[in-house]
Amino acid sequence: MKIAFHGQRGSYSEAAAAWMYADQDIATVPCDTVQQVFDALADEQCQYGVVRVENSEWGTSFNILDLLRATRVYFSRDIRFHERYNLAGQKNATKGGIKRIYAHPAILNLCSTFLARQKNIELIARFDGAENLAALVQRSDKNEATVCGDFAASIFGLKVLEPSVENSVTGVTRFVALTKAKQLPPDDAADVRTSAMFELKHQPGALMSALAAFRQNEINLTQVFARPNRTNKWDYTVFVEFPGRFDQENIRTALAELRHHTTYLQLIGSHDSVEPRIQTT
């Protein structure tokens, strides 16, 4: 089974794919952009796609919601964990001997506080993370290091010289597996939730009436926010998430009632949650 992921080899997106489907035989396919992940699903080159959808400190990745609005793909699984970044080098390297650190600019920024305290060390940006790690291993220079995640360090055989050098140690990132075909989680799945998006009619009380469909059917909204609609100016798309499966009677009833108060309704599917297979905090 092929899984497209947004990022490069060794990224936490690839780790999320591996952990979410650890019990299956998978092949991961790196994609430079989120659009490429959606394209891989649309062209049926991959059966699943993995993307970041939100972070507990940065909020939601709205470009994912925009692509969901423009396509027909569904959430099938999610995973949440802290993205830890480490100073890593060769097996014979020491932290005091490092003279050069190579890493992607985004990762350098995420670890800027730690890196600013390192004296007489040259910081060198490398935009291709996987190529950078492979080259670092090939050069085998004990004076060189990189900043990478646990997963990348393990698959490239690097030694962690200083763990957890990221600026924030409390943020949790949520990754979601996408699929072209709507699916229901296994009957014994944990923490099953359903997601949907809708757009309201322009009439008084439209939002209150729409949300009442969930209240009347005893559905607790665990997430709700609005996103500007890219199709019609000054219109908004509302995203909601709540516990349960889309085939449950109360959820089917709520969605049917919701249609009476909306101009657009899109079910994003029901998904379960899994735990990461290794400790990342």
* pLDDT tens figures, 8-41: 889 999 999 999 999 999 999 999 999 999 999 9
Q: Are residues 14 and 138 in the same domain?
A: no
226-279 pLDDT, tens digit each: 888 767 777 889 999 999 999 999 999 999 999 999 999 999 999 999 988 754
Q: So what's the pLDDT on residue 280?
A: 42
Q: Are residues 73 and 175 in the same domain?
A: yes
Chain-centre distance for alpha carbon 266:
21
pTM: 0.87
Least-confidence region, from 53-67, 121-135, 169-183, 226-240: 226-240
CATH number of the domain encompassing residue 125:
3.40.190.10
Q: So what's the pLDDT on residue 250?
A: 98
Residue 279 lies in a domain: no
Q: Are residues 146 and 223 in the same domain?
A: no
Q: Are residues 17 and 58 in the same domain?
A: yes
Examine the fold and report which residue of 181, 210, 230 is the final residue of a domain before the chain moves on. Answer: 181
Instruction: Tell me which residue range forms the domain holding 123.
Output: 85-162
Q: Are residues 12 and 73 in the same domain?
A: yes
Q: So what's the pLDDT on residue 281?
A: 38
d(CA 280, CA 149): 9
Residue-averaged pLDDT of the chain: 93
Residue 275 lies in a domain: no
Long-range (24+ apart) CB contacts under 8 A made by 89-92 are 89/136, 89/142, 89/144, 89/145, 89/146, 89/158, 89/159, 89/161, 90/137, 90/140, 90/141, 90/142, 90/144, 90/158, 90/159, 91/157, 91/159, 92/142
Residue 22 lies in a domain: yes
Q: Which of 98, 93, 156 is nearest to 122 (CA)?
A: 98
Examine the fold and report which residue of 181, 210, 237 is the final residue of a domain before the chain moves on. Answer: 181
Q: Are residues 53 and 152 in the same domain?
A: no
